[in-house]
Structure formats: C-alpha cells, structure tokens
Amino acid sequence: MSMTTQANGHRMKAVNGRKRRPNRSVLGDLGVWLLLIIVAIIMALPLVLAISNALKPLNELFRFPPTVFPIHPTLTNFSDLMVTMGQSWVPFTRYLANTVWITLLGTAGHLLIASMAAFVLAKYDFPGGRTFFNIVVVALMFNGYVTAVPNFITMSKLHLIDTIWAVVLPAIASPMGLFLMKQFMEGLPFSLIESAKLDGAREFRIFWSIVMPNVKPAWLTLIIFSVQGLWNNRASAVIYSEGKKTLTYALQQIQAGGVARTGQAAAVIVVIMIVPIVTFILSQSQILETMASSGLKD
C-alpha cells in the first residue's frame, strides 16, 4: 500500500513538474504576435513622429510628402528654443522652478491626503463614512472644466489667486486618488492590521509600514496621473504674474508664434511630454513587479 502511494506521489510530481504549454497552434502564436506588433506600432507612432519632427530642420518640416524620420537630423530646434526662452525677461529657470514646485507639492499632498483618507474609509466603520464615499464617487463625474469656476471662487475667497497654491490645493483635493486608493486598500486582509495592533503598532505606523507598501501599484499609478496633470497645467486662469507662470504656459506662448517658430513648436511638444513619459517608464516596471509579487489572501 505504501509503495503504491509512493509511486502515485512520484507520478503526480512528474505531472506537476512538467511545463504546461498553451493549447495554441503555431499559426495562433504568429497571429497573436502580429496583433501585438501592430498595436505597439500604432501606440508608438505619435511619440516617434513628435521626436522626429523635433529633430528635423525647418525645410524638412515643410516637405511634401512628409517623411517619418529626419533625413538630416539636427538639434537646431532645441537650441533655438533655448535662445528664445533666454530672451524673455523672466528666466527659463523661473518657469521650470514654478512647474517643479507645483508638481512636487501637488503630487505629494494628493498622495498623502488621499491615502490617509482611503485607509480610514476602507478599514474603519464610522457614522457617515459610506455617505462621504458616495459623495466622492459622484465628484468623479465632474471634470476640471466643470469645477474650474467653483475652484476659482474658493481660491479667491481664500486670497490665494496668483499663487501656486491656487493650483496645488485643488490638485490635492481631487477625488480620483481617494477612490483609487480605497479600492486597493479594501483588498488587503484585515488580519494584517489586527496582527500589527496585537504587536503594539499605532495607527500611523500601520498605515505607513504595512498598508502603503502593500498598495504600491495604486500610489504609483496615482503619482503618474498627478504628475501628468500638474506638469501640463497652464494655470493661466489663476496665476497672472509672469514670474509665477508655469513652463507649459511659456512654451505654448512660443508655440503660438507662427510659421517662423514651427521648428521650436516641434521641440516644445517633446519638452512638454518628456517628464510624464519618463515618470511612467520609471514606474511601470515597479508596478508590474509589485502586482506580480503582492498576491495577499486571508
């Protein structure tokens, strides 16, 4: 009896150790690869065209039929852009510093406030909690164009117009981060929090050392969206002083300079989109790695 059981065990190990191959033909694999290649080309084409146009001299930008890649690549468009920005009475570094400060403060504040509020809503029951979250869900229906006027009135009452806080505070109060973080935190097993409490950990220690590392995909995604929105924010409706304006506003003013600045306009597109793209590329691998290694179950 024991020998039969042992033989069955060896047989099961051999079956389990064997590689499981997908039930697909060679033509099916080729079809999947072909479809993925086509989708990748379609998604990468706008980025390739933007970079190619930025590297084209002015005569190639007006060439017909247009070429995808530059025949004589050059960095003249970027150097001309730097010259034009250098001629402004507000230094280029001032525009850049304003944008960096707005992006850092808005992203950090939004991540911290949304995560702390989501932790309370997801793991604690208190009167009015469900109603508050329903209000957050309803707020997701309204985009920035709808809330622009209420935000302006609120910032005006707080005497924050023409300051970077008129951009940062509405970004911190965005409902998207709270909704995203709460949905991720609800998937965490409550036994983790109970075990930490039994070990004597306080609420903030549980939030910072246990909850946040386990919802890393959520806050990395939140950082990507927040950086993209704040970096590309012109903020012209709430910031009037030239010395406080953002880099995107200054670059778009150059972009609207007419035909003579077509090459600089192509360089502007690359400069504006490079930071969100780099942020996404740096965070993407961490998101995939965390999703693959964070399967928590009760």
Which of 24-28, 31-35, 79-83 has maximum average pLDDT? 31-35
Note the pLDDT tens digit of each residue in 246-264.
888 887 787 776 777 788 8
Secondary structure (3-state) at 174: coil
Note the pLDDT tens digit of each residue in 183-229.
888 888 888 888 888 888 888 888 888 888 888 888 888 888 888 88
Note the pLDDT tens digit of each residue in 73-102.
888 888 888 888 777 777 888 888 899 999
* DSSP assignment letter at 221: H
Listed in order, the ranges of the chain carrying CATH 1.10.3720.10 are: 82-293
Would you say residue 284 has pLDDT above 80?
Answer: no
User: Rounded to whole angstroms, how far apart are CA atoms 106 and 103?
Assistant: 5
User: Rounded to whole angstroms, how far apart are CA atoms 81 and 264?
Assistant: 5
| Residue 5: band (very low, low, confident or very high) from pLDDT cuts 50, 70, 90 | very low
* Dihedral (CA of 26, 30, 36, 40) sign: positive
CATH class of the domain whose range is 82-293: mainly alpha
> What integer best gives the mean pLDDT of the chain?
82
User: Rounded to whole angstroms, how far apart are CA atoms 56 and 78?
Assistant: 11
Residue with tokens 């064997």: 18
